Amino acid sequence: MSHHRDGFQRHIKRSDMLSCVLCEDAPCTAACGRMDPAGALRSIWFANEKAAAAAIPEEIPCGDCPALCESACVRPGQVPVKKLMERLHQEVRPALEIPYPEDEDRLKADLCGISLENPFLLSSSVVASTYDMCARAFEAGWAGAAFKTICSFEIHEASPRFSAITGDNGSIIGFKNIEQLSDHSVAENMEIFRRLKAQYPSKFILASIMGKDDKEWEELAGLCEENGADAIELNFSCPNMADGGLGSDIGQVPELVERFTAAARRGTKIPVLAKLTPNVALMSPAAEAAKRGGADGLSAINTIKSITGVNPHTYVTAPAVHGHSAVGGYSGNAVKPIALRFVAELAKNPALAGMYISGMGGIENWTDALEFLLLGADSLQVTTAVMQYGYRIIDDLKSGLNYYLAEKGFRSVKDAVGLALDTVSDTTDVLERDTVIFPKFHKEKCIGCGRCMISCADGGHQAIQLNGERKPQLNGKKCVGCHLCILVCPQGAISPGVKRIKKPTI
Q: What is the CATH number of the domain that holds 211?
A: 3.20.20.70
Cα dihedral: 274, 279, 280, 284 (round 10): 20
**68 CA to centre of own chain:** 34
> Can you give 183-239 as a three-state secondary structure string?
CCCHHHHHHHHHHHHHHCCCCEEEEEECCCCHHHHHHHHHHHHHCCCCEEEEECCCC
> Do 348 and 214 share a structural domain?
yes
In a domain, 318, yes or no: no
| Residue 61 pLDDT | 84
How many domains, the chain? Answer: 3
H or E element at residue 342: helix 336-348
In a domain, 279, yes or no: yes
Cα separation, 148 vs 263, in Å, equals 20
Cα separation, 99 vs 8, in Å, equals 19
pLDDT in tens, 341-350: 999 999 999 9
Cα separation, 481 vs 144, in Å, equals 45
Exactly one of 28, 69, 112, 238 is catalytic; name it.
238
Across the range 243-268, mean pLDDT stands at: 88
Query: CA dist 299 to 141, 234, 373, Å?
Result: 22, 9, 13
**What residues form DSSP beta bridges with 382?**
122
446 counts as catalytic: no
> Do 391 and 470 share a structural domain?
no
Cα separation, 239 vs 253, in Å, equals 14
Domain assignment of residue 447, given as a range = 432-501
Task: Share the mean pLDDT of the chain.
Answer: 92
> Do 209 and 62 share a structural domain?
no
> Do 130 and 75 share a structural domain?
no
**320 CA to centre of own chain:** 27
In a domain, 401, yes or no: yes
192 pLDDT tier (thresholds 50, 70, 90): very high
Cα separation, 79 vs 68, in Å, equals 12
Cα separation, 164 vs 388, in Å, equals 11
In a domain, 102, yes or no: no
> Do 290 and 228 share a structural domain?
yes
Q: Is 154 exposed, middle or buried (0-12, 13-18, 19+ CB in 10 A)?
A: exposed
Query: CA dist 393 to 85, 367, 421, 499, Å?
Result: 20, 13, 27, 40
Q: In this model, does residue 64 exceed pLDDT 50?
A: yes
Q: Which of 367, 392, 423 is the last residue of a domain?
A: 423
When mean pLDDT is compared across 7-11, 61-65, 225-229, 360-364, the lowest value belongs to 7-11
Across the range 119-145, mean pLDDT stands at: 97
The count of other CB atoms within 10 Å of the CB of residue 72 is: 17
Cα separation, 185 vs 196, in Å, equals 17
In a domain, 174, yes or no: no
Q: Which of 423, 446, 465 is the last residue of a domain?
A: 423
Q: What is the CATH number of the domain that holds 471?
A: 3.30.70.20
> Do 291 and 354 share a structural domain?
yes
Pairing of strands 231-235, 272-275: parallel
In a domain, 317, yes or no: no
Quick check: pTM over 0.85? yes
> Do 487 and 441 share a structural domain?
yes
Q: Which of 423, 446, 474 is the last residue of a domain?
A: 423
Q: In this model, does residue 240 exceed pLDDT 70?
A: no
Q: What is the CATH number of the domain that holds 29?
A: 1.10.1060.10
Across the range 116-122, mean pLDDT stands at: 98
pLDDT in tens, 469-499: 999 999 999 999 999 999 999 999 999 998 8
Q: In this model, does residue 246 exceed pLDDT 70?
A: no
> Do 209 and 71 share a structural domain?
no
Across the range 161-189, mean pLDDT stands at: 85
